[in-house]
Each structure stands twice: as structure tokens, then as C-alpha cells.
Structure 1
């Protein structure tokens, strides 16, 4: 499954001692991903290939409290693509599990 979406960069409030930043997938996309049969992984994670601008990486999306999956945005990507807390981000996502 391939998808594109726009999101907002946010810092994980539960860990104010670290730089964990994410963007939330749209609810509709999260529901589609949740419906894909796949092996169970830790924390309900789903392996993906993500692209933001010229930066591409493999990671996992994780289920959030509001029913949407969240995509971690590592520092190298945030720096290379000039992403800031509260700013917008355009993501290309390929789901690898399923």
C-alpha cells in the first residue's frame, strides 16, 4: 500500500527529556493500515518506508491514543527538511507489512 498525506509535526509530550517528534497519519489511512492482515509486532507497530522531500528512511508507525498511527521523524530528517514543531510536513508512505 502506498499513500501520501500532509501532517503537522509534534513533539511527544510524554518524553520532555528527549527529542521525539512525530506526525499523525490521517484517520482514514490509519483505518486502512489497521485492516491489513500482518504478523503482530511490538507496540502494534507496522513497518513502513517513508519519504519527506529528499529524505527517505525505513521505520515503523505506531498506534496513537486517538486511533491514528504516528510516524516518528528522526532528527536527521527534521534537520535536512527544515521541519519544526508545529510545522507542516508532506509524507509519502509505503506500508511494508502485509
Structure 2
């Protein structure tokens, strides 16, 4: 499954710095991922993905967030620097499920 979408970067509320920056996957696609992942999830309900933002591609995990009713994707600092992104910016991205 490959998902292409635009999302705003946001900071995890528990942190005061930009070390925990995320985007939320669309709710509808998150529901599909939950169904597809079934019992194949890893720690904390995570699902392995390959992500592309701009010219940056990396492998990471998405995590379920019950308060947002979707999966959330961490955007690591190296990618944010390479793509000149910060919290509040909207980025176009492609997320591909890896182990499903």
C-alpha cells in the first residue's frame, strides 16, 4: 500500500523542543492500515514504512494515536533540515507499508 498526501508538521506536546516532530496520516488511510496490519504490528502498535519527503527517503515506523484517530509519522531532524521544514509547515509525502 502506498499513500500520497500533504500534512502539517506538528510537535509532540510533551516536548518543548523540536526533537519530536510528526505528521498525521489521513484518517481513512489509517483505518485501512489498521485492517491490513492485523497481528503484524510491532512495539507500541507500530507499522514499518518507507517515507519520501522531497528528495529524502528513509525507513521508519508509524504509530497509532488514539487521540487523533490515525497513525502518526515521526519526521526526523536530518530530513527536516535537508528539506527546510519545521513545525507548522505543510509537506507532500509518500508513505509505503514495508512489512505488510
What TM-score comes out, normalization by structure 1 length?
Answer: 0.93
Q: CA deviation at 1:17?
A: 5.2
**Alignment partner, residue 12 of structure 1:** 12
Question: Which of 71, 75, 83 lines up with 2:77 in the alignment?
Answer: 75
Q: Name the counterpart of 2:44.
A: 43
Aligned residues: 98
CA-based RMSD of the aligned residues comes to: 1.2
Residue 92 to residue 40, structure 1, CA distance change in 2 (3 Å)? closer
Structure 1: gaps (5+ residues) = none
Most deviating of 12-21 and 48-57: 12-21
- Given that residues 38 and 97 in structure 1 are in contact (C-alpha distance below 8 angstroms), is that contact kept between their aligned partners in structure 2? no
Aligned to 2:53: 52
Structure 2: 5+ residue runs without aligned partners? none
Q: 1:17 to 1:3 in 2, by over 3 A?
A: closer
